[in-house]
Structure 1
Amino acid sequence: MATLLYRLGRACFGRRGLVVAVWLLLLALMGGAAAAFMGTTTNAFRMPGTESQRAMDALQKQFPQAAGATGTVVVTSDEKLTPADVAPVVKDAAAIPDVVAAMDPFKTRSISQDGRYALVQVQFEDEIADITDEQREAYADLPEKYDGEDGTVRVEVGGELAQTPPEVGSTEAIGVVIAAVVLVVTFGSLVAAGMTLLNALVGVGVGMAGLYALTGFVELNSTSPVLALMLGLAVGIDYSLFITSRYRGFLVEGVERREAAGRAIGTAGSAVVFAGATVVIALAGLSIVGIPFLSAMGLAAAATVAVAVLVALTLLPAVLAFAGDKILPRKLRDAVAEKREQGGTVEVKQGFGYTWGRLALKLRIPILVVGVAGLAALTLPARDMHLALPDAGTAAVETTERQAFDLTAEGFGPGFNGRLMAVVAADTPAATKAAVQDVSTLVKDVKGVAAVAPPQFNQDGTTALVAVIPTTGPTDTATEDTVHAIRGKVADVQGADVALTGVTAIGIDISEKLSDALPIYLLLVVGLSVLLLMLVFRSVLVPVKAALGFLLTVGATFGLTTAVFQQGHLADLVGVDTPGPLVSFLPIILIGILFGLAMDYEVFLVSRMREDFVHGDSARQATVNGLGHNARVVTAAALIMTAVFAGFVFAHDPIIKSIGFALAVGVLIDAFVVRMTLVPAVMSLLGRGAWWLPKWLDRALPDLDIEGEKLRHALAEPAPGRDKVTVG
């Protein structure tokens, strides 16, 4: 692979104009496709095979008037509400395009006991995925007509339509600015930093434009584009950083520019291909869970990462050709030019990485004890981790959906925010009515049920909808118990099919299915990491060590995220207004992404250790060299990824906020604690045994040549010890 990539790097360097033109044309075409075909994303979550989803599908066929999206308009006043107060709100809600009905709360008895709160139920014809921007805007604009002052009513809107999709704003750009600063400090060259950042932005632009173009044909969750942007930026900058650093290293050794580009793509580029492939495989592997929105989310992010890899392998060498020696700091340019003419290399003084490597080896036992114990302690809060789909109770306090949520709980109780819907279907109207009576009687006696509303029947009377109000909120663990208790009670109802659904029931079903899939997915990812690293490093113990380190990273990240977002510790620092359950798909998404990123750092650090060991260094010296050569670039890469992810912590959307926080914390822990501290300590303990591989297994495994060993032999690189000059 290294030889093929070497040729690719040289070819792109030599045809720099053509390569840049092709990528710019592709960016323009994708941008045009996005503008022409871009559709809307959705906040809907579908779960095929669950009871709640089967009930929704049955409603769509047998009771379509009740299967569309719903909204709840909360009307309140300091004084008792009258029909005259509420009538204008009902009229305005009914005037929204494609609203089937806006129900008068005085007719549906949706008035609080003190008479100060009323709920206007709004039923739309279309499902939430088909609601247009015009409908959303008309619904969201309802509160503006009522200010709650001078004795008038106050209006807030909630429900499915009030949820606003996450947007990328100025706060996310903070991470890119910090990344640019880190690049400047790392390279000591504005040209190198700007080129690396621009290269990554082109890849993100192509990937995101293609993704938005697909929204016209494929249903995507609103979180998918933001997750793809988050990952595309982080890995795009990092992959370009790794290759550019290796390219600069070859220039310092006196290698001619085009040859240096070829070798950089052949060596560091091989590691980038492997690292990118692990991220893509892990994200695409989310499809095995069998949840459509999660599969689409994973595939969207995987596609963006794949584009980032292609950009790093092709566009980067072309841009390097335009940059020339300006890729180096000023103090190195003259020395490199001189040594290129005379032969020899320019030797740069050993940096902090060597010092840290020697220290890690010297204090390996204390480091292992403190490191493992510390990460295990950070994992403890994860024992109480509670997963649920987010509700408006965790939205920003200034949003209308949060205001509606709080007012509903204040006036009616928390259960009115998480109402359940029992769908009763039979062959005849008489059988349906009999079953509805049985269901209503049974459900009223269930612990945790506050009220059961009168049934609504479809036109032929064969399907009925029974609203059930729990006593607790939609993400409360007690509500889960209530849902299971109701399902257990109505399971024996004869002569009809009874299923429980609604946004709350769907959320519970999704969370439970994700929780069941989490151990399987974790086992798959850990097994995959062992297999892939065995192929790369030709070792048994190194992959096992890497997998154990990954588990420490995941556990500590889960623990910290639970402590902040669920338990509320230091929540104010990240702008969490109301702590609550973690979004149900966060753990499985986090495992997939962190796996790929952890393998990045493992490959870039340990591949150099293996390279020096194979060339005759002792196991101890090879470990120090691996850390010394790559500590600077891995540190920069980790800081860049952390900055990019942390920029999303300032987003208003609680899902994006929690994902950004978890990824930022996970990268910091994995890069600095696990890979750059625990790994060298473990490698020094293992010694030569770290590179043991049974002969039969060595013969069976294909040689991927990630380190470019075959390429070096083919190029017949000069042996070490050439004339050198030290540049301070």
Structure 2
Amino acid sequence: MARLLGRLGGASAAHPWRTLLAWLLALVAAVGVAGVAGGDTHDDYSIPGIPFQVGTAYLADHFPELSGASARVVVHGDQAVPEPLLTELAARLKQLRGVAMVAPPRLSADGDTALIAVGYRIPVTDFAGSEGVDALRAAVGPAEKAGFTVALGGEVPENFSAPSGSAEAVGVIAALIILVAALGSLVAAGLPILVALMGLGVGTSLITLLAALTDVSSTAPTIASMVGLGVGIDYALFLVSRHVEGLRRGLSPREAAAEATATAGSSVLVAGLTVLVSLFGLNLSTLPVYASFAYATFATVGAVMIASITLVPAMLGLAGRRVLPRRERAGDPVSTAVRTGPTRTERWARWVGARPIRSALAALVVLLALAAPMLGMRTWPQDAGSQPESNTTRVAYDLVAEEYGPGANGPIVIALPAALVPAVTAALPGQAGVQAVAPPLVKGEAAVITLEPTTGPQDERTTDLVRRLRAELPEGVMVTGNVAGFGDISDRLAERLWIVVAFVVGLSLLLLTVLFRAPVVALKAAVMNLLSVAAAYGVITVVFQTDAGARLVGLPHGGPISSWVPILMFTVLFGLSMDYEVFLLSRIREDWLATGDARGSVVRGLAATGKVITSAAAIMVAVFVGFALDPDVTVKTTGVGMAAAVLIDATVVRMVLVPATMALLGRANWWLPGWLDRLLPATAHAAPAPERELVRR
């Protein structure tokens, strides 16, 4: 593989304009086809087999007006809300597309607030973009002009989040600054960003085309862009830094590009494949929305990976020696690269290598301390109670809680045969945690009862009430509604998390064992990646579940972690952590195979890659912090968690724990039993036969 990549890199560098033109044509074609044949994003929250889904299907059969999306309009003023205004507003709401019913206004005790519930016959996922919210906003316009505060709540407005548009810009600007500092050349710094953006353009177009064939979540392109932009810049940086090393040794631009693609390009390919393999784990969640995250991110990461190993060498060949700092271009490239002493990274690597036990224990204590809060993590799907106070859904949520009680924000719907109505209505008022029970709605042989709990949707006592109702009410009674559905989703994701973890870890172990022919190294990498992810879980628990932490990221108070985040973070982070592991191990293995010095190869490998790894991690952190500015709480939580994980991984893990443990294990790192050596295929990272004999001795 290394030889093939070397020839590819050399050919691209020798004919840069051809390669660049081919990519430009591919980009234009992808954007054009996506514009003509692409589809719109569409969320699919159906989860076959959960109790909520059974109740929803029952409502669809007997009460179609209650089975679709819902919205709530809250009108609030300094004085009593006039009845004519509410009558006119209800009439306008009835004319909106998909609306099946508009409930009579529910006035607060003092009459200054009115709550109007809107039921749709279509699911919330049938609205494209802001279509549903825009229609509601137009309908309530006259009430706002009359001087009343009107806030929108319920599924339709809560399901839409306007993109901030600033996340990518923040990440790109920060990445450019870091690259200039790391490489010392504006040309060299601009190459990774340009390549990543071109790969991202193709990947985004592929997502649009994918949306025409299957459901792609509205949040999936944002997550895919977050990951694609970060890994795209990192992969290109790995290649550029290795290319610069070649130029400093006196190689021609074409030779340096070929060598960089053969060496760093192999690591990029391995790292990218590990990310792609990890993404397959999302399909095991059994949630269609997660499958769309996997497909979208797969397309983007695949595009930027291919761009890195083809477009980077072409642009390096085109740039020539301009990727070197100006002071080096002015003199002898060899003499200017000579240093008078060890670099700071090399001194650090020697220090860790000389104190492996102390360093490993210190890193392990830090990681376990960061991970400890994870034990108190509570998950709950994102709802209006987690939004910033400026959001209309949060305004509606707070007004409803203040005027009608917290349980009014999360009514529980009970679907049942009409014959069971007397028994259920007699049992409900006596249940602990039930604030109010609405009169049953009967249609033929079916009935619906709505109750309001005494606690809000995010409160654990509300979830306990749902579980208790399901256990105690007669057989045939179905407890459904958004609150019950959110609880079912959280339970399903918690169950599937461990299956996803086992799949991703097992597949990554297999892949690394095949590629590095070192089962000890592969096992150690998996354990350390698990520690990185656990530490990131601990960080987001502290940030998002505490009031002080939540205010740091622009949220009014702490609350449960979005249920969507843990599995998504694990699959993506496990793959991203392998990027740095593969890049570091590849360099250590090169030195080990050349010298047979187990401990020295760790020091020299870390010294050679430490600066690049920290620069790449800084770029990834900057990109993820940019996405932490997104108004969507799920994206914000993912951005903060990934930024924390990459920072921890590139400092505590890669710069301390990995070299310390490898120095402790010595030659055992590369132990390979003979029977396994005969089974494993030869790869770019495998040693030639004589060197493999050295490894086994």
**Fold-level match, TM-score > 0.5?**
yes
Tell me the TM-score range normalised by the shorter chain: over 0.9
Alignment of 1:469 with 2:456, yes or no, is no
What SS is found at the alignment partner of 2:73?
A: strand
Q: Distance in 2 between matches of 1:447 and 1:549?
A: 46
Q: Distance in 2 between matches of 1:53 and 1:361?
A: 56
Deviations 1:429-462, CA, capped at 9 Å, x for gaps: xxx321233333333333222222223345xx23
Q: Find 1:594's aligned residue among 564, 573, 585.
A: 573
Partner of 2:209: 213
Q: Is the 2:277–2:508 Cα contact (8 Å) retained in structure 1?
A: no
Shift of 1:19: 2.0
Q: Is the 1:36–1:213 Cα contact (8 Å) retained in structure 2?
A: no
Aligned length: 688
Q: Is the 1:37–1:214 Cα contact (8 Å) retained in structure 2?
A: no
Q: Find 2:185's aligned residue among 186, 189, 197.
A: 189
Alignment of 1:247 with 2:243, yes or no, is yes
Deviations 1:456-509, CA, capped at 9 Å, x for gaps: 345xx233322222221112111111111111123x33xxx4322222211111
Shift of 1:153: 3.7
Which moves more between the two structures, 471-480 or 358-367?
358-367
What SS is found at the alignment partner of 2:49?
A: coil
Shift of 1:38: 4.8
Alignment of 1:486 with 2:469, yes or no, is yes
- Tell me: CA distance 1:403–1:140, structure 2 relative to 1, closer, same or farther (3 Å): same
Q: Is the 1:634–1:671 Cα contact (8 Å) retained in structure 2?
A: yes
Shift of 1:283: 1.0
Alignment of 1:111 with 2:103, yes or no, is no
Q: Distance in 2 between matches of 1:423 and 1:483?
A: 13
Alignment of 1:327-406 (within 5 A): 327-335=323-331, 347=338, 350-406=342-398
Shift of 1:419: 1.2
- Tell me: CA distance 1:12–1:59, structure 2 relative to 1, closer, same or farther (3 Å): farther
Q: Is the 1:42–1:165 Cα contact (8 Å) retained in structure 2?
A: no
Deviations 1:245-277, CA, capped at 9 Å, x for gaps: 111222222223223222211111111111011
Alignment of 1:523 with 2:502, yes or no, is yes
Partner of 1:413: 405
Partner of 1:723: none
Q: Is the 1:446–1:485 Cα contact (8 Å) retained in structure 2?
A: no
- Tell me: CA distance 1:441–1:219, structure 2 relative to 1, closer, same or farther (3 Å): farther
One-letter amino acid of the counterpart of residue 674, structure 2: K
Deviations 1:111-151, CA, capped at 9 Å, x for gaps: 333333321111223211112444320213445433498xx
- Tell me: CA distance 1:37–1:144, structure 2 relative to 1, closer, same or farther (3 Å): farther
Partner of 1:75: 75
Partner of 2:93: 93
Shift of 1:611: 1.6
One-letter amino acid of the counterpart of residue 423, structure 2: D
Q: Distance in 1 between matches of 2:457 and 2:533?
A: 28
Partner of 2:558: 579
Q: Is the 2:490–2:563 Cα contact (8 Å) retained in structure 1?
A: yes
Q: Distance in 1 between matches of 2:527 and 2:33?
A: 44
Shift of 1:300: 1.0
Shift of 1:35: 2.9
Q: Distance in 1 between matches of 2:418 and 2:561?
A: 40
What SS is found at the alignment partner of 2:580?
A: helix
Partner of 2:64: 64
Shift of 1:346: 5.3
- Tell me: CA distance 1:266–1:345, structure 2 relative to 1, closer, same or farther (3 Å): farther
Q: Is the 1:361–1:681 Cα contact (8 Å) retained in structure 2?
A: yes
- Tell me: CA distance 1:199–1:712, structure 2 relative to 1, closer, same or farther (3 Å): farther
Shift of 1:62: 3.8
Q: How does the TM-score come out when normalised to structure 1?
A: 0.90
One-letter amino acid of the counterpart of residue 388, structure 2: A
Alignment of 1:606 with 2:585, yes or no, is yes
Deviations 1:141-173, CA, capped at 9 Å, x for gaps: 445433498xx5432111111122341412441
Q: Distance in 2 between matches of 1:171 and 1:516?
A: 32
Q: Distance in 1 between matches of 2:18 and 2:441?
A: 66
One-letter amino acid of the counterpart of residue 505, structure 1: A
Partner of 1:438: 423
Alignment of 1:139 with 2:136, yes or no, is yes
Report the aligned-residue RMSD: 2.3
Q: Is the 1:454–1:466 Cα contact (8 Å) retained in structure 2?
A: yes
Shift of 1:605: 1.0
Alignment of 1:12 with 2:12, yes or no, is yes
Q: Distance in 1 between matches of 2:115 and 2:304?
A: 49
One-letter amino acid of the counterpart of residue 371, structure 1: A
Q: Is the 1:39–1:213 Cα contact (8 Å) retained in structure 2?
A: yes
Percent of residue pairs identical:
39
What SS is found at the alignment partner of 1:219?
A: coil
Partner of 2:695: none
Q: Find 1:618's aligned residue among 576, 590, 597.
A: 597
Shift of 1:294: 0.8
Q: Give ranges in structure 2 of 5+ residues lacking alignment.
A: 692-697
- Tell me: CA distance 1:389–1:541, structure 2 relative to 1, closer, same or farther (3 Å): same
Which moves more between the two structures, 160-169 or 553-562?
160-169
Q: Distance in 2 between matches of 1:77 and 1:574?
A: 31
Q: Give ranges in structure 1 of 5+ residues lacking alignment.
A: 425-431, 714-728
Q: Distance in 1 between matches of 2:449 and 2:81?
A: 27
